[in-house]
Amino acid sequence: MSDQKIYTLWSDDQIDEESIRILRTTCEDLSLPLNREEQEMVRTLVDTFLTRDDGVGLAAPQIGILKRIVVFRNKGFDERNWSKKPEDYEVLINPRITQARGDLVSALEGCLSCPDIQVEIARYPEIKLRAYDGKGNKIAKRYSDYVARVVQHEMDHLEGKLIIDHGGALYYPKKKQAFFDKIFQPEK
């Protein structure tokens, strides 16, 4: 079983410099075919994802693995106790978007690594990509609407990019306003 820590930019009222360094790293490709160590990394990411009910996706750097692996739900987004059947989630290794289409759509996003905030982010409603699945098989996929958003979010993590980097409107709870104002509006 995995009881992996999820790295967050801040916890309580504390900025976490070590986590920032990890989350801001551009991740490396896995080698194909996957070696034993890489298979273990994929398993650790999936296991960690499956122990949680509070995220629709997870990227390897969020648990300190600086490799290009993401896992995400492809249905049941509103369920807190989702089934976690293998067909309800997908793993992508070394994903590359080959086509992004449609008018950008804005929506609020949260992130396990940016607790307590939400950011309005514009994303493509349709993407095509090439990647490898969790076993290392070459795949080509097409995603639309919410799943496309989730995949773009998780792929951002592999570049060290987070929701706060998109420049969208930011929302955070009043009781933490002083802390977040200090981070996001330092001139005040």
Binding interface with Zn ion (CB under 5 A): 111
Question: Cβ of residue 25: shortest distance to Zn ion, in angstroms?
Answer: 14
Tokens representing 126 are 């349709």
Residue 152: other Cβ atoms inside 10 A: 18
- Rounded Cα gap, residues 69 and 82, in angstroms: 22
Written as six digits, the tokens of 106 are 């804005």
CB of 10 to Zn ion, least distance (A): 14
Are the C-beta atoms of 176 and 116 separated by less than 8 Å?
yes
Record the tokens describing residue 78, joined without a space. 């509103």
171 and 119 Cβ atoms separated by less than 8 Å: yes
Question: Quick one: 10 or 34, whose CB is closer to Zn ion?
Answer: 10
Q: Which is nearer to Zn ion, 59 or 129 (CB)?
A: 59
Do 43 and 139 contact (CB within 8 A), yes or no? Answer: no
d(CA 7, CA 30): 21
154 is catalytic: yes
Q: Which is nearer to Zn ion, 72 or 124 (CB)?
A: 72
| Shortest Å, Cβ 115 to Zn ion | 11
Residues 180 and 173: their CA atoms lie apart, in Å, by 9
Comparing CB distances to Zn ion, the nearer of 9 and 111 is 111
User: From the CB of 35, what's the least distance to Zn ion, in Å?
Assistant: 27
Residue with tokens 């996001």: 184
- Could you tell me the two tokens for 102? 């449609």
Q: Considering 40, 154, 159, 187, which one is annotated as catalytic?
A: 154
Residues with active-site annotation = 154
